[in-house]
């Protein structure tokens, strides 16, 4: 009996993440969604919610361990969690800018580092990083958001080359406003 692929989606409580877990669940995948504070209101049919704060090494480790204990492994990681920091570059504090990078860039890095060892060991896996159109076409008052998403784009491209021979695929999607979306493998 063949089992469904196991997908872990960060930031599944709203927006793209919420829609992604619904679509994947309806398509027959075993789906784990994450949220900082999972609640009953986030429950979706066919989606197992797990607590995760992507800014915390310990939380990332706990989340990935929980999924691996329940499902045995992770076939696909979708790094979707993040937020938009809006404001003029001059008026944005260094602390606010660091927080933007901590979540939108280093959060994806943490998650990737947590799932890569088992993907490498199994010789297969898929990592999907959700960037943004502003990574390539920055707009005023979202400079730090654009910079963090551009860093994620560059990281994803480099990672793709590093893990390709290990059987792990890396995709990056530059989503901003539906229906426009661009993903590369």
Annotated catalytic residue, options 13, 25, 35, 156: 13
Order across the sheet with 30-35: list the strands. 47-51, 30-35, 6-9, 76-79, 125-130, 168-173, 183-184
Residue 164 annotated among the catalytic residues of the structure? no
Backbone angles phi, psi at 112, to 5 degrees: -60, -45
Residue 13 annotated among the catalytic residues of the structure? yes
Residue 39 annotated among the catalytic residues of the structure? no
| Radius of gyration of the chain, Cα coordinates, nearest whole angstrom | 16
Q: For residue 115, give every residue at least 6 positions away whose Cβ sits within 8 Å of its Cβ, in sequence order, or none.
A: 8, 64, 74, 77, 125, 127
Residue 131 annotated among the catalytic residues of the structure? yes
Annotated catalytic residue, options 5, 132, 145, 155: 145
Annotated catalytic residue, options 5, 25, 35, 131: 131
Annotated catalytic residue, options 35, 144, 149, 156: 149
Rounded Cα gap, residues 135 and 145, in angstroms: 8
**Active site residues per annotation:** 13, 131, 145, 149
């Amino acid at each position: 009996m063949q089992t469904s692929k196991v997908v872990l989606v960060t930031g599944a409580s709203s927006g793209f993440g919420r829609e992604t877990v619904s679509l994947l669940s309806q398509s027959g995948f075993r789906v784990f969604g994450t949220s900082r504070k999972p609640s009953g209101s986030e429950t979706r049919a066919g989606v197992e919610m797990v607590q995760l704060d992507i800014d915390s090494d310990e939380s990332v480790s706990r989340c990935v361990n929980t999924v691996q204990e329940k499902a045995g492994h992770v076939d696909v990681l979708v790094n979707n969690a993040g937020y938009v920091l809006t404001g003029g570059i001059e008026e944005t504090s260094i602390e606010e800018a660091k927080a933007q990078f901590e979540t939108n860039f280093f959060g994806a890095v943490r998650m990737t580092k947590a799932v890569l060892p088992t993907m490498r060991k199994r010789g297969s896996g898929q990592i999907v990083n959700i960037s943004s159109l502003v990574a390539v076409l920055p707009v005023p008052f979202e400079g730090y958001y654009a910079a963090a998403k551009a860093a994620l784009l560059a990281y994803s491209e480099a990672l793709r080359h590093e893990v390709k021979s290990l059987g792990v695929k890396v995709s990056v999607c530059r989503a901003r406003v539906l229906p426009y979306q661009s993903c590369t493998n």
